[in-house]
């Protein structure tokens, strides 16, 4: 039995879940989301507790059991509390600015990078004197916010010698020593 798949999901106050066939819809204070799952799986809602049951012990069903439970749990947490990711731009002259839903980044290239952020993701850029610029992403969709954060991060990967690049706030980068001084 899947440890993750068999765990029940408790609904927080203010969140409603509707199960229509193989589509699960959730509404809460942060918006609404829906997830389509395999029609073989049985999703039950009883006494504000959602459970996912797999039909057989086939390898495919075992593999998807925990996945669907996690997707539904992430959806419920997203509409209740939402998700937030912060990216830090480390490097001399690195800047970030937001105009509407377009993120403008200056990452040491010969040109600025303009990135259109999906409407479901709120983006904010904060720059304090003497500190690295921080880009904050907020959304109720965990998958989408992770994808946008990974795209922003891929524009300037952190290099191991000086630590320059885009990283998550609090992320520890393994540094290399570099060349030794000539004798």
User: What pTM, to 2 d.p., does this model score?
Assistant: 0.88
pLDDT exceeds 90 at position 29: yes
pLDDT tens profile 115-163: 999 999 999 999 999 899 999 999 999 999 999 999 999 999 999 999 9
- pLDDT confidence of residue 24: 94
Please state the length of the chain.
Answer: 183
- pLDDT confidence of residue 182: 61
Rounded distance between C-alpha atoms, residue 142 and residue 81, angstroms: 11
- pLDDT confidence of residue 178: 83
pLDDT exceeds 80 at position 112: yes
- Top-confidence residue, 153 or 179: 153
Query: Do residues 81 and 130 make contact, with C-beta atoms less than 8 angstroms apart?
Result: no
Beta-sheet pairing, 83-90 with 95-99? unpaired
What does the angle CA 32 – CA 37 – CA 39 come to, to the nearest 5 degrees?
A: 130
CATH topology identical between 9-80 and 83-168: yes
Confidence of residue 72 (pLDDT cuts 50, 70, 90): very high
CATH class of the region 83-168: alpha beta
Rounded distance between C-alpha atoms, residue 23 and residue 36, angstroms: 4
- Residues 6 or more apart whose CB falls under 8 angstroms from that of 2 comprise 54, 62, 65, 66, 69
Per-domain residue ranges of the chain: 9-80, 83-168
Whole-angstrom CA distances from 13 to 76, 98, 167, 174 are 11, 34, 34, 42
Nearest Cα to Cα of residue 17 among 1, 32, 3? 32
- pLDDT confidence of residue 183: 60
**Which residues partner with 136 through β-bridges?**
86, 124
Half-sphere exposure of 62 (CA within 13 A, CB side): 6
Note the CATH number of domain 9-80.
Answer: 3.90.930.12
What mean pLDDT do residues 18-32 have?
93
């Amino acid at each position: 039995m899947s440890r993750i798949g068999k765990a029940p999901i408790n609904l927080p106050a203010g969140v409603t879940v509707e199960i229509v066939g193989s589509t699960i819809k959730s509404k809460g204070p942060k918006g609404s989301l829906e997830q389509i799952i395999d029609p073989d799986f049985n999703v039950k809602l009883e006494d504000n507790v959602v459970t996912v049951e797999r039909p057989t012990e086939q390898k495919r069903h075992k593999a998807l059991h925990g996945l669907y439970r996690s997707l539904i749990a992430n959806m419920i947490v997203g509409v209740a509390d939402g998700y937030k990711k912060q990216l830090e731009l480390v490097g001399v002259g690195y800047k970030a600015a937001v105009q509407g839903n377009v993120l403008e980044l200056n990452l040491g290239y010969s040109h600025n990078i303009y990135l259109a952020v999906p409407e479901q993701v709120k983006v904010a850029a904060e720059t304090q004197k003497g500190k690295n610029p921080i880009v904050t992403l907020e959304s109720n969709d965990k998958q989408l916010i992770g994808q946008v954060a990974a795209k922003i991060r891929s524009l300037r990967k952190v290099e191991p010698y000086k630590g320059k690049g885009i990283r998550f706030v609090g992320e520890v980068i393994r540094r290399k020593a570099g060349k030794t001084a000539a004798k």
